Structure 1
């Protein structure tokens, strides 16, 4: 049966990539540009560099620097109101997944009516959106090349996603130098986010040979380069490879979708405000162990792809990947659930909400039960 593989973004990759911004804005005949970023991007001096290039295009610039981790509906509505008042015609999102996702969501409301929460789901955005240029400063979320927006509904206490091909950024300015200022902990968490994307999309029940090609290549790149980048943030070869791997993995998971790891991570972030990458990394080894019985061949393929030793006994080798992921999380000092303030008495509530996550539909092992989730959480405690 025929399968669709959707790729949209035009990527400018490498050092000084931001210098392409003035010509891109002129190409769009931009008049009013909104630049979106958070306090961290400003403190690192990255926003200043991006704004300097944008101003060369002789456009009106509106700044929204109120991005928060796990952006909420309320922040989206606030930014959209400012964008509408200033008649924004092009967006530039500078930062990690939170900044880029928030900008994608604001872009929806430029041409579609609010509130933003009504677009949760797949393919619910009716009208096309405005040009969006993504300038990633982390290597992990792949939001710069995907059709996904992750938002937090603080009233319903849940994290939800909007998935629509209209939302993929039109242009990507990918300069590895912009990731150089990431602290080791953020580098580790966002890198494990990318590994999660690669692994979950490879074993997804929506995976195709084309998505799996990108997923496995992304895993290989991150497995080799993430420890190097965490150990030495100034290692620009590792930084560049991570940014490349993030884009490659993004092409895979935006077409194949994700699974139970993200279902648990969404719930942890909604209730306890955990950083998305950290939430993924904490439970990733245990979910892969849980899924191994359903897709042993794929687990062994992934293990071989990163040159893990295999015995030739499938019953043993199907767990090679989950064991390596556990080793890697310990090497990178990924915090356990208890170290992040989560207690066992929280598990019942967490498990109930995880079972409501639509992303479970793409997990290779179907029929996930509450007891299954509780067992995974106990291992991650």
Structure 2
């Protein structure tokens, strides 16, 4: 059997002074009028924003500070209007997943004029298959300066929240994968420790799901990057969060970036549940995935013993015979996650983050059709999701 792997990789710049290279990056890409996309918190960081805007020089035409958590549709629509008003030909996100997703969404919505959010969304059909709409229009190039560990900047997907429907949908388009991802220590200097912790756990969930999902089970490239991501994140997150150790933070940033390589086709049950969870409740994307992380492992554990053995090894749990089937191994894996959660101070129960238990059944019906569910090796029903949410409560 002949197998093939192709990855349209972005260019990566990391280390002190990386932001200063953004001007030459845009020039090389032929971008003359760049709009910066960020949230209010990052936009108010004068030192960071001055460094970005100075690096862009005359190519900077406007800074849109409307990015919000979980990317509400209204902020995207306003962003498109602003983008068109300034006749921009490039988008530079500065921030975490919300800024990156907003920039990608602006690129898609501006190009696919007249198409609605739900016409463009990727979803899982009733028979468990993934449906990905064709988005043929050329897209405005996106570039990313990361201030968190979200890893959204690496991928060619993004989520947008339809607040009226209470759902967060995913859109996939290879043309909006950021051309260049910048990791500069200056960009994370003022990022709150709680944000580093939450987004770090989100990155860990990416890597964990990649190792056991169907999407990349036979892909040695994504398996290797996911394993390395888990090692870097589990090892370095405590010092990065609690001590603001620059070397640990740099290592965690690299781990987060590696976790993003296999997101498409790799994320599964946890992300599928987390999308409506965060759309309907006051929970950040990172905290939601952190809480769900051990429960997704538990649900899927008996379906793929070889993959779970590999995941166990990545988490530092020894397994004999190449298959993880015993309860002790499962508990040891979940203990690694729980101990990390406690060490960096992230929540691990839904009741502690304001989730309404009465909404479980409605959330489950939406989550069962989320695009990520098609990747889970064990078929997931709405009743399964309710049971998992109860366990996470």
Shorter-chain TM band: over 0.9
Aligned residue for 1:25? 26
Give the deviation of 1:288 after TM superposition: 0.5
Give the deviation of 1:350 after TM superposition: 2.0
Aligned residue for 1:83? 83
Aligned with residue 246 of structure 1, among 242, 245, 256: 256
Per-residue CA deviations over 1:326-357 (Å, capped at 9, x if unaligned) read: 23223333222111112332222222222121
Find the residue that maps to 2:143 and give its secondary structure. Answer: strand
**Residues 89 and 291 of structure 1: is their aligned pair in 2 closer, same or farther, counting only changes over 3 Å?**
same
Find the residue that maps to 1:173 and give its secondary structure. Answer: strand
Give the deviation of 1:133 after TM superposition: 1.3
Give the deviation of 1:189 after TM superposition: 0.7
Alpha-carbon distance in 1 for matches of 2:343, 2:362: 30
- 1:64 maps to 2:73: no
- TM-score, normalisation: structure 1: 0.93
Aligned residue for 1:365? 378
- 1:126 maps to 2:108: no
Find the residue that maps to 1:93 and give its secondary structure. Answer: strand
Aligned with residue 352 of structure 1, among 355, 358, 365: 365
Give the deviation of 1:318 after TM superposition: 4.0
Aligned residue for 1:328? 340
Per-residue CA deviations over 1:140-177 (Å, capped at 9, x if unaligned) read: x2121101111101222100001121110111122133
Aligned residues: 375
Within-5 A mapping of 1:196-235: 196-207=205-216, 208-233=219-244, 235=245
Alpha-carbon distance in 1 for matches of 2:165, 2:4: 35
- TM-score, normalisation: structure 2: 0.90
Give the deviation of 1:309 after TM superposition: 4.4
Contact kept in structure 1, 2:283 and 2:354, CA below 8 Å: no
Contact kept in structure 2, 1:311 and 1:317, CA below 8 Å: no
Contact kept in structure 1, 2:36 and 2:60, CA below 8 Å: no
Alpha-carbon distance in 2 for matches of 1:319, 1:163: 35
Unaligned residue ranges in structure 1 (runs of 5+): none
Aligned residue for 1:156? 165
**Residues 290 and 24 of structure 1: is their aligned pair in 2 closer, same or farther, counting only changes over 3 Å?**
same
**Residues 328 and 88 of structure 1: is their aligned pair in 2 closer, same or farther, counting only changes over 3 Å?**
same
Between stretches 279-288 and 301-310, larger displacement belongs to 301-310
Unaligned residue ranges in structure 2 (runs of 5+): 123-131
Aligned residue for 2:271? 262
Give the deviation of 1:305 after TM superposition: 2.4
Alpha-carbon distance in 1 for matches of 2:304, 2:332: 13
Give the deviation of 1:297 after TM superposition: 2.0
Alpha-carbon distance in 1 for matches of 2:63, 2:386: 44
**Residues 114 and 238 of structure 1: is their aligned pair in 2 closer, same or farther, counting only changes over 3 Å?**
farther
Aligned residue for 1:34? 35
Per-residue CA deviations over 1:106-142 (Å, capped at 9, x if unaligned) read: 1123332134513212352212212221111101x21
- 1:51 maps to 2:40: no
Aligned residue for 1:145? 154
Give the deviation of 1:280 after TM superposition: 0.4
Aligned residue for 1:8? 9
RMSD, aligned CA: 1.8
Per-residue CA deviations over 1:295-319 (Å, capped at 9, x if unaligned) read: 1222222222232245777413244
Find the residue that maps to 1:292 and give its secondary structure. Answer: helix
